[in-house]
Amino acid sequence: MENDGVSVDQGFLVARRDQYKQVFPSLEFIGWYTMAPYPTAQHIALHEQFAAYSSTPLLLILQPSTALATSSDNSQSLPFKAFEPTVEIRDRRSRSVFIEAPFTVETGEAERIAVDWTARGGSGGTSLETHLQTQRAAVKMLHERILLLVKYVTEVIVGSAKKDHDTLRSLSALIASLPASENKGFREEFDTEYEDVQLTAYLSTLTKSASILNDVSPPPNLLRGIYVKIQSPISLSISTLSLPPTVKKGGLWVRGVEEWAVEAWEWVWEWV
Mean per-residue pLDDT, 19-46: 85
C-beta pairs of 104-110 under 8 Å, 24+ apart in sequence: 105/78
**Domain co-membership, 244 together with 162:** no
Indicate whether 2 belongs to any domain: no
Percent of residues, the chain, with pLDDT higher than 70? 67
Residue 217 has pLDDT above 90, yes or no: no
Q: Quick one: pLDDT at residue 31?
A: 87
H, E, C per residue of 47-60: HHHHCCCCCCCEEE
Q: In whole angstroms, what is the distance from residue 23 CA to residue 17 CA?
A: 10
Cα-Cα-Cα-Cα torsion 248, 253, 259, 260, nearest 10 degrees, comes to 90
Average pLDDT over residues 13-30: 88
Domain that holds residue 88: 10-105
Q: Is the entire prediction scored with pTM above 0.75?
A: no
In a domain, 1, yes or no: no
Residue 128 has pLDDT above 80, yes or no: no
The Cα–Cα gap between 34 and 31 comes to 11
In a domain, 5, yes or no: no
The Cα 159–Cα 39 span in angstroms is 37
| pLDDT tens, position by position, 181-205 | 667 777 788 888 989 999 888 888 8
Cα–Cα distance measured from residue 6 to residue 15, given in angstroms and rounded to the nearest whole number: 20
Query: Which of 58, 87, 105 marks a domain boundary?
Result: 105
